[in-house]
Amino acid sequence: MLRLSGITKTFREGGAVDGRPALDGVSLVLRAGEFVTVVGSNGAGKSTLLNVVAGTVMPDAGQVHVDGQDVTGWPEHRRAAFIGRVFQDPRAGTAGSLTIEENMVLAMTRGIRRGLAPALTRARRAAITEALATLGMGLEHRLETPVSHLSGGQRQALTVLMATVRAPKLLLLDEHTAALDPRAAETVLELTRQVVARQGLTTLMVTHNLRHALTVGDRTLLMHEGRIVLDLAGEARRGMDVADLMEAFRRACGESALDDRLVLSAAP
């Protein structure tokens, strides 16, 4: 479903230390339905990887194929028709001044030319209600509530639903539970797990939580200095705990690569 071939990106201004590439010849294949978690030290290139897939950042070299199609030169808005994305900030994926229902309509008609998108029909309202009910948060009874009135966890759960309501070919999650309190984070993660499983979505999830990286999805990538240094799946991954992952990272990159954020995220 996703093929990255030799992706290189160096930011020329105000970014990478020492002029080092943010991505350094990254190649990666995701099969349809794979749920892949991505971890790594600060500045390893994780967000840049997602940005290159989404078309927010254009690579200096390399190709991006989605579902067999070369989309390397496609702008972000064209890819948005088949890529769902959720960011760290719950406010980023929703319009706070609009109601829950209006946000859902926007998500359901994204990429469809205005005029072709039918107005709010009874059937659509039923579909929205049904979709919201899957969150188990009672939002289906609050269709007229402005999204700004929701808690961070509710708003991020709604964002996950909005990003997946059109069954995207790819779902990109960029530390989407990191800004939530621990309980809300677990709830949103569980909802994410459910929606990905229900729709069989091909998913890339960046996280700083090493436990989540190992327990969610079926494959884990470890990035360091613009490269994928570990690619864990199957038996090798199943038997791993957080300490094993830290040790594997240490072996691949050396002690000095373990930055504060990675070490902190290893805390139980």
Binding region for ligand ATP (CB under 6 A)? 11, 14-17, 22, 40, 42-48
Minimum Å gap between C-beta 50 and ligand ATP is 8
3-state DSSP call for residue 224?
strand
DSSP per-residue codes, 167-202: --SEEEEESTTTTS-HHHHHHHHHHHHHHHHHHT-E
The DSSP 8-state label assigned to residue 31 in this structure reads -
Minimum Å gap between C-beta 87 and ligand ATP is 11
Q: Indicate the residue among 43 and 90 with the shorter CB distance to ligand ATP.
A: 43
Minimum Å gap between C-beta 15 and ligand ATP is 2
Q: Indicate the residue among 44 and 204 with the shorter CB distance to ligand ATP.
A: 44
Strands 2-9 and 83-86: unpaired
Minimum Å gap between C-beta 44 and ligand ATP is 4
Q: Indicate the residue among 139 and 214 with the shorter CB distance to ligand ATP.
A: 214
Nearest to 192 by CA among 176, 208, 211, 207: 176
CA 58-60-66 angle, 5° bins: 50
Q: Indicate the residue among 16 and 131 with the shorter CB distance to ligand ATP.
A: 16
Residue whose Cβ sits closest to ligand ATP: 15
Q: Indicate the residue among 43 and 93 with the shorter CB distance to ligand ATP.
A: 43
Minimum Å gap between C-beta 167 and ligand ATP is 27
What ranges in the chain are assigned the alpha helix state H? 46-54, 76-79, 100-109, 122-133, 152-164, 182-199, 210-215, 234-238, 242-253, 260-264
d(CA 229, CA 248): 10
